[in-house]
């Protein structure tokens, strides 16, 4: 099945640094969602974006819905050790149904 391209694939950063990751698609999506997955657990919703150009924050997390509706980015400010995990973007098309297409994932590792 189709997957969204997510970059970078992995990141190894220092605690306190800001993090940025993005997700791109060749087709348009009406909704962009960002999830975090810890090992052995299901994804947890971080931020949902519903309109092109929308910029939404959730604590230290900020995400934007690209103007073209083909991309989205997620920023994490002042990273802390518990930010470690895999971050997935997911897009939902319009036209009925609620199926999500997931990105390839960005693994974040935080060095103390």
Partner 1 sequence: GAVVSQHPSRVICKSGTSVKIECRSLDFQATTMFWYRQFPKQSLMLMATSNEGSKATYEQGVEKDKFLINHASLTLSTLTVTSAHPEDSSFYICSAPGLGVQETQYFGPGTRLLVL
State the residues that interact with partner 1 by CB under 8 A.
Answer: 1, 3, 31, 33, 35, 40-45, 48, 50, 88, 90, 97-105
Q: How far is the CB of 89 from partner 1 (least distance, A)?
A: 10
Q: How far is the CB of 30 from partner 1 (least distance, A)?
A: 10
SS (H, E, C) the chain: CCCEEEECCEEEEECCCCEEEEEECCCCCCEEEEEEECCCCCCEEEEEECCCCCEEEECCEEEEECCCCCEEEEEECCCCHHHCEEEEEEEECCCCCCCEEEECCEEEEEEC
Nearer to partner 1, 18 or 65 (CB): 65
| CA-based nearest residue to 76, from 15, 3, 4, 2 | 15
Nearer to partner 1, 10 or 78 (CB): 10
Q: How far is the CB of 43 from partner 1 (least distance, A)?
A: 5
Nearer to partner 1, 37 or 112 (CB): 37
Q: How far is the CB of 100 from partner 1 (least distance, A)?
A: 6
């Amino acid at each position: 099945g189709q997957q969204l391209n997510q970059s970078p694939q992995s990141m190894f950063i220092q605690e306190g640094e800001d993090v940025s990751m993005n997700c791109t698609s060749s087709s348009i999506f009406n909704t962009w969602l960002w999830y975090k997955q810890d090992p052995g657990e299901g994804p947890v919703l971080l931020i949902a974006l519903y309109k092109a150009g929308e910029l939404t924050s959730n604590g230290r997390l900020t995400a934007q819905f690209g103007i073209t509706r083909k991309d989205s980015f997620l920023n994490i400010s002042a990273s802390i050790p518990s930010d470690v995990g895999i971050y997935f973007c997911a897009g939902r098309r319009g036209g009925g149904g609620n199926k999500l297409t997931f990105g390839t994932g960005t693994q974040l590792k935080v060095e103390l």
